[in-house]
Amino acid sequence: MESHADLVARLEEWVERGRALVGAGAELELYAQEHRGLTVRVFRGEVESLRYAHSRGVGVRVLREGRLGYAYCTGFDWRDCSRAVEEAAANARFSAPDEHNLLPSQVDRTPGDLGIYHPEVEETASRDKVDLALRLEKLTISLDPRVKRVETAVYADGVSVVAVANSLGVSGSYRSSDCHCYVFPIAEDGEESQTGFSFDQGVRPSDLDLERVAREAAERALCLLGSRSMPSRRTTVVLDNMVAAEFMGMLAAALSAEAVLKGRSFLAGKRGEQVASSLVTVVDDGLLPGGPSTAPFDDEGVPSRRKELIRDGVLTGYLHNMYTASRSGTQSTGNATRSSFRERPGVGATNLFLCEGKGAREELVRGVDDGVLILQVVGAHAGANPVSGEISLGALGLRIKNGEPEQPLREITLAGKALEFLRQTVAVGEDLRFLPFEGSLGAPTVVVEGVMVSGRG
């Protein structure tokens, strides 16, 4: 794999050659990404699949009089790249002009060590990575006779190099590594079966705590055995930290200035307002040491930083890239994101999380006389709408009576409005945890009062 310093040098050269192609009056940005990764999936003590990935590509943004065109290619040479530059310039002709389409200009940054790369990922043999996945599966089924099998156990890692260069003088690059593992065990008792889940993540294989993952995943499946529905009622819910982190996805989408500007956010126009209980503080930190979405700069080259979005319940700001910042008359917060070189930058969270309060999950549950501990939600994509703020989700969990989790529950739904959930938050725990999927979202356990839980019986 090319070193990131070489890659950025090459991009700088292509930017120079590209300027000649697009002519005067046009600005140009190149974004290159190279990735090597391995994913091991095991099943019943055998490797179910082993996947080596090697992908690379270049995305080109051309701006002319505020008109934006984009093109990408997988060739890593000037022949392919020059075609992409020409294609992006042609696309720009058919786009609407918008004065807020801007590229960042030269910026100072102090990268420092962000703890996002460790050579161990590249130095560890594939065979040892396969063993990690096999061990995770074996550990999971060894804990309880009712957990006889796992649906899937996975180890995955990758090393990426990213470089950005534009015609206004911005250029930079970085290298990162990541690895994670997860397991979905199935617990069975008679006719009933329940699925559990747990994961761990880090920048190198030795960061992963397989024992903890196996134990937690098995427990999460086992505790749901014997579940049934419950009669509909308004009650107190305790959101497990993984569930609360899933809800942060809805908040992240609504905090995007892009969504706000386009009327697609239930938080639009609420800056400075008390939108949540004073226990709620939400931060997005692009420089969080070792964080899954940590990088020295965002996907258009603006330096990353930490910012508070909700402080003590008051909405203090939104997530911005260059475009939304210009439209809103503010500065980019370093939140330009793209899922790959195939996409122009949008707005997205980096490491976005609900700050810790006080108390372990057990203590929070103990404080609830009558309620529901939610361990899994289903339908988070469809049922948690960041546009309207409506929440309607299927859930699995445990009935809480006198501070003790008791009867397992299935076929129940949670319904309400996100703002109600935020305002009716009565406790925030101290067990902050990040979910590595779809960005990097984190939350501790959260207790919310007066939530409509529906079921049958």
Q: Which residues pair with 171 in a beta bridge?
A: 165
Query: Residue 153 burial by CB count (10 A; 0-12/13-18/19+): exposed, middle or buried?
Result: buried
Q: Does 54 bind another protein (CB under 8 A)?
A: yes
Q: Which residues pair with 183 in a beta bridge?
A: 153, 198
Q: Does 48 bind another protein (CB under 8 A)?
A: yes
Q: Does 149 bind another protein (CB under 8 A)?
A: yes
H or E element in which residue 187 lies? strand 171-189
Closest CA to 237 of 381, 364, 417: 364
| 3-class SS shares of the chain: helix, strand, coil, % to 5 | 25, 40, 35
Q: Are strands 198-202 and 404-417 parallel, antiparallel or unpaired?
A: unpaired
Select from 124, 171, 193, 407 the one that contacts another protein (CB under 8 A): 193
Q: Which residues, numbered 273-332, are part of the site for another protein (CB under 8 A)?
A: none
Select from 15, 22, 71, 116 the one that contacts another protein (CB under 8 A): 71
Helix, coil or strand: residue 302: coil
Least distance in angstroms from the C-beta of 261 to another protein: 9
Q: Does 2 bind another protein (CB under 8 A)?
A: no
Taking CA atoms, 209 is separated from 17, 215, 286, in Å, by: 49, 10, 25
Q: How many CB atoms are located within 10 Å of the residue 96 CB?
A: 8
Between residues 60 and 355, which has the closer beta carbon with respect to another protein? 60
Select from 11, 63, 159, 186 the one that contacts another protein (CB under 8 A): 186
> What distance in Å separates the CA atoms of residue 301 and residue 395, rounded to the nearest whole number?
40
Between residues 97 and 111, which has the closer beta carbon with respect to another protein? 97
Q: Which residues, numbered 79-108, are part of the site for another protein (CB under 8 A)?
A: 84, 87-88, 90-92, 94-96, 98
Select from 23, 24, 46, 113 the one that contacts another protein (CB under 8 A): 46
Least distance in angstroms from the C-beta of 88 to another protein: 8
Helix, coil or strand: residue 404: strand
Q: Does 344 bind another protein (CB under 8 A)?
A: yes
Q: Which residues pair with 188 in a beta bridge?
A: 193
User: Are residues 55 and 89 in contact, defined by beta-carbon separation less than 8 angstroms?
Assistant: no
Q: Which residues, numbered 356-375, are part of the site for another protein (CB under 8 A)?
A: none
Q: Does 450 bind another protein (CB under 8 A)?
A: no
Q: Which residues, numbered 386-415, are part of the site for another protein (CB under 8 A)?
A: 387-388, 390, 392-394, 410-413, 415
The site map against another protein for 215-254 (x = CB under 8 A) is --------------x--x----------------------
Residue with token string 């839980």: 453
Tokens of 105: 């200009």
Between residues 195 and 316, which has the closer beta carbon with respect to another protein? 195
Stretches 12-20, 202-210, 336-344, 422-430: which one binds another protein (CB under 8 A)? 336-344
Between residues 18 and 383, which has the closer beta carbon with respect to another protein? 383
Closest CA to 16 of 78, 69, 103, 67: 78
Stretches 62-70, 136-144, 284-292, 303-311: which one binds another protein (CB under 8 A)? 62-70
